[in-house]
Amino acid sequence: MTDDRRTAVRRGTVWSAVALASLSTILVTPFVLDSLAPDGTDWERLSAVSQTYGAVSVFISAAALVGVALSLAYQARQTRIQNGEAQRSAHRELVLLTLNEAAYQVCWEPPNTPMTRERWKQLLIANLIVSMWRTDYKLGLMGDRLARAVLQDYFRGEIGRAYWHNSGPSWHRYFAGSRDRREQRFLALAEDAYRAAVAAGPAVPAAEYFRPAAD
């Protein structure tokens, strides 16, 4: 269990204990007052006071329950982030294993367009990059503006553009029927960014990414 998960669990436990203690105090208070009150106590007057007290207790209980709800929502979000990171880690390890073993490269689906093995390796890394952004977007770590910006910039390059030209149709086939709105939205952003990059002009060739090292 990570430190963030432990913190979230502790926070949820504390809020639950606070809510339980508050409710218990409210339930027990009338009995305690009855046992401690002297003979001849004006209960009618105390009843009016207790009604005011009861209104205050409602707010206290509501605040405690809101705290519990916020804690649970935080835990759920942390769980989603951890699951996303675990999935990304597994994907990354699989890609690295594939790159290092030529025999495993044919275990993936064949490319949609003919290409060299070297280009296929480049597109495999490109898939890892775009999938990382997709995960960040689904988890809410990246908004529309940032996703659009990084995708448009990415598709300016030869490899990024070649990747979406080859794999974009597969993304549409795999995720077009998804009920996840953020999944659908990321797919639309990627497609729009690709079309905008193509309309802006030719891709930057990979050979021109870097200057030759100075002698």
What would the pLDDT profile of 54-90 be if each residue is shown by its tens digit? 655 666 667 667 777 777 776 776 777 677 677 777 7
Same domain, 134 and 193: yes
Instruction: Domain count for the chain, please give it.
Output: 2
Q: Which of the given ranges, 6-10, 29-33, 105-109, 183-187, has the highest pLDDT on average?
A: 183-187
Confidence of residue 17 (pLDDT cuts 50, 70, 90): low
Confidence of residue 143 (pLDDT cuts 50, 70, 90): very high
Tokens of 210: 């870097």
Average model confidence (pLDDT) across the chain: 79
Task: Give the pLDDT confidence score for residue 100 in this predicted structure.
Answer: 84
Q: Write down the pTM of the prediction.
A: 0.61
Containing domain of residue 140, as a range? 109-207
CB 3 within 8 A of CB 48: no
CA distance linking residue 23 with residue 34, whole number of Å: 18
CA distance linking residue 36 with residue 121, whole number of Å: 81
Same domain, 76 and 113: no
Backbone angles phi, psi at 141, to 5 degrees: -85, -10
DSSP 174: H
Among 47-51, 165-169, 211-215, which stretch is predicted with the lowest mean pLDDT?
Answer: 47-51
Residue 53 lies in a domain: yes
Among 25-39, 101-115, 121-135, which stretch is predicted with the lowest mean pLDDT?
Answer: 25-39
- pLDDT value at 203 more than 70: yes
Tokens of 175: 């995720």
Residue 94 lies in a domain: no
Residue 70 lies in a domain: yes
Same domain, 9 and 51: yes
CA angle 41, 44, 49 (to 5 degrees): 95
To which residue do tokens 């979000």 refer? 77
Residue 90 lies in a domain: no
Name which of 109, 95, 200 is nearest 157 in CA terms. Answer: 200
CA distance linking residue 158 with residue 209, whole number of Å: 10
Name which of 84, 171, 94 is nearest 132 in CA terms. Answer: 84
Tokens of 156: 């300016």
Among 17-21, 101-105, 154-158, which stretch is predicted with the lowest mean pLDDT?
Answer: 17-21
Tokens of 178: 């998804």
Task: Give the pLDDT confidence score for residue 196 in this predicted structure.
Answer: 94
To which residue do tokens 């490109």 refer? 126
Confidence of residue 41 (pLDDT cuts 50, 70, 90): low
- pLDDT value at 136 more than 60: yes
What integer is the mean pLDDT of 137-166? 93
Backbone angles phi, psi at 112, to 5 degrees: -75, -20
Confidence of residue 174 (pLDDT cuts 50, 70, 90): confident
Name which of 77, 100, 174 is nearest 130 in CA terms. Answer: 174
Same domain, 115 and 81: no
